[in-house]
A and B are shown apart, each in its own frame.
Chain A
């Protein structure tokens, strides 16, 4: 079994989180924004797992399962919203939905 140090794991999680954040900030397509959020969530989950492994406790993996559940719920709501946005604006550009009007 290959031993991976905690630092490596946390750096990977940090890189993943930053990539996700960058995606949220620069992407205009809502679907890509949603996917970037998933990446950020998974980065957080990875950090939990790494920390759990470091101290030999199951809490980290329990938290990851919570995150998975939450992500599933979030994606279902998010996709429904995206469908509505597409119906309404005939585009997936998130900047198009910047007015608080019906």
Chain B
């Protein structure tokens, strides 16, 4: 059964190839069947594979399959090899399963679009690349998948390329992540230079054996890898591309910019955890970046008007939680939150997508209102997902995954009170902005009529994801709820166990109570300020200070402003003054001289025979004279 592993990424690639070449000639139903079917088959295979992996685990809880040798240059011979262990199994399950639901949703969502086959071709290419990324056995193959998903992200953000802003957003996403990718590439060179291999398992063993913890090399390598992760996962300071990436179609935001691609950075850090363990400084940096990002993005999310931008900032914030978990050494907790986040965030985006297409592609929440009655299924599923995002206690999956992180932010090896406070404030903000969105969009008076119907293929993914957003958390309960932690146990075959410094059930209980109360308090404040007494928020925004703060948060803490001033404007200025490219002057000079000579010689070609005869005669006289007199 495990031998079928190669089929999981191969199927989406195959479907991509067919759609890219023959897409125009296949009917819409054919395109949907191929695009959705290929990912669906991958999802079924993944589940079967997962069952066989769990029931009869391979040796060392890892299975690797070499398809062929990629290249062999001077002792460097990466293979096209897939490596399945508990970490990559969790990732491929989320990618194929959530990916399949989003593909199914897209087949109705994109129904009227003329680029139907192009859309599914890109989506399949994305799923294939993402699976390559997480299944890669060496860092070079991982990098191939990494760039592949970046390309698909670019193509899909700019999917409606007739609008110049979409093209701008796509380029911004590509260029900003490129900064991180460059750091990642340098990190790969450094690792290969010093460890002589890019094969992940060998590399980690050699790093463990050769490097001294805390010395320069592991710190440099870890920080460079972190650079790549920060770019891809939209963390501080490269987070600015994600809110703009919402220009793409909503299923794209759900799949790429919420559930899968943006968590590639989390995967990379978890995959190369040995290097990070050898570099405590880098671990601390990861935790601080995570904590700072989750706070920053949380504040920004409170002020957004566009429903998709709220979700974008909330994604940045939730990935900040995952980074925080990895940074304090709670590896499994980060992956747990990744999985639950994929469920509820994909659901939130898909719900927002339904709202958007049934209201003439309106993104402004303040123009909607009262959608509760118009879209009952969407409302209930959206509410469940919001509950999970805000970590409403006991009943939602988000509570179990996020509270694990908040608890470990204090109690784990790398944890501290400051990180715990940041995580707690983040949870409070999360509850506020989430329910602000719910109250503004779904409650209150109806401002817009519903337009169009919501079909089966839109509803089914919502319902399935809503179920997962509730029961997903039960696969790993906190210690206070009994020792039922199958996911952590499973992940600890690959990742190191979480070292808890302050082991105490009663303490853990009190911490959980605090975060549960925080979430409920946030929910109540959102209800009070954005539903019951909306005039307070308005009055605050009308004061000078309030307006300034609002504008500051609304623009994402002015990062775009700073980057424009620091990087974009000087570059544009240089380009402008150098419009006549001074390096070209030399080549222009060469061309000019040649042209001049050409004109001079051209003058002698008059077409008059007598001139030619004269030339011949003069030439003869001169040559004879030279011959005679010299």
Residues of B within 8 A of A24 (CB): 610, 613
**A99 partner, pick from B607, B610, B614, B617, beta carbons under 8 A:** B607
Find B608's partner among A21, A26, A95, A100 (CB 8 Å cutoff). Answer: A95
CB distance from B355 to the nearest CB of A (A): 72
- Do residues A25 and B607 form an inter-chain contact, with CB atoms below 8 A? no
What residues of chain A lie closer than 8 Å to B613, measured between beta carbons? 21, 24-25
Residue-by-residue, is A11-38 near B (CB-CB < 8 Å gives 1, otherwise 0)? 0000000000100111010000100000
Residues of B within 8 A of A100 (CB): 607
B209 at the interface (CB under 8 A from A): no
Task: Please measure, in the bound complex, the distance between the C-alpha atom of A95 and the C-alpha atom of B612, giving whole angstroms.
Answer: 12
Q: How many residues of B contact A (CB 8 A)?
A: 8
Contact of B606 among A21, A26, A33, A98 (CB under 8 A): A98
0 or 1 for each of B577-618: is its CB under 8 Å from A? (1 = yes)? 000000000000000000000000000001111100110010
**Smallest CB-CB separation from B610: which chain A residue?**
A25
Contact B607 A98 (CB under 8 A): yes
Tell whether A94 is near chain B: CB-to-CB under 8 Å. Answer: yes
User: A37 CB to closest chain B CB, in angstroms?
Assistant: 9
- The residue in chain B whose Cβ has the minimal distance to the Cβ of A99 is B607
Contacts of B607 in A (CB 8 A): 97-100
Interface residues of A in 50-79 (CB under 8 A from B): none
Question: Smallest CB-CB separation from B617: which chain A residue?
Answer: A21
- Chain B residues within CB distance 8 Å of chain A: 606-610, 613-614, 617
Can you add 17 more A-B contacts, CB < 8 Å, to A33-B610, A94-B610, A95-B608? A21-B613, A21-B617, A24-B613, A25-B610, A25-B614, A25-B617, A26-B610, A33-B609, A94-B608, A94-B609, A95-B610, A97-B607, A97-B609, A98-B606, A98-B607, A98-B608, A100-B607
**A82 to chain B: closest CB distance in Å?**
12
Q: Which residues of B contact A98 (CB under 8 A)?
A: 606-608
From A28, A33, A94, A98, residue with most partner B Cβ within 10 Å: A98
CB distance from A101 to the nearest CB of B (A): 10
Closest B residue to A98 by beta carbon equals B607
In the assembled complex, the Cα of A21 lies from the Cα of B613 at a distance in Å of 9
Write the nearest CB–CB distance from B146 to chain A, whole angstroms: 61
Shortest distance from the beta carbon of A30 to any chain B beta carbon, whole Å: 9
Alpha-carbon distance A97/B613, docked complex (angstroms): 15
Chain A residues within 8 Å of B614, by CB: 25
What are 12 A-to-B residue pairs whose CB atoms are below 8 Å?
A21-B613, A21-B617, A24-B610, A24-B613, A25-B610, A25-B617, A26-B610, A97-B607, A97-B609, A98-B606, A98-B607, A100-B607
For B608, the chain A residues whose CB sits under 8 A away are 94-95, 98
Beta-carbon nearest neighbor of B614 in chain A: A25
Q: How far is the CA of A21 from the CA of B614 in the complex (A)?
A: 9
Nearest CB of B to A39, in Å: 14
Q: Which residue in chain B gives the minimum CB-CB distance to A28?
A: B610
Contacts of B617 in A (CB 8 A): 21, 25
Find residues 79-102 in chain A having any chain B CB closer than 8 Å to their own CB.
94-95, 97-100
Residues in A neighbouring B610, C-beta threshold 8 A: 24-26, 28, 33, 94-95
Q: How far is the CB of A51 from chain B (nearest CB, A)?
A: 18
Chain B residues, Cβ within 8 Å of A26: 610
Q: For the complex, give the distance between the alpha carbons of A33 and B610 in Å.
A: 9
Closest residue of B by beta carbon distance from A27: B610
Output the nearest chain B residue to A95 by Cβ-Cβ distance.
B608
Residue of B nearest to A101 (CB): B607
Q: Which 5 A-B pairs have the closest CB atoms?
A: A98-B607, A98-B608, A24-B613, A94-B609, A95-B608
User: CA A94 – CA B613 in complex, angstroms?
Assistant: 12
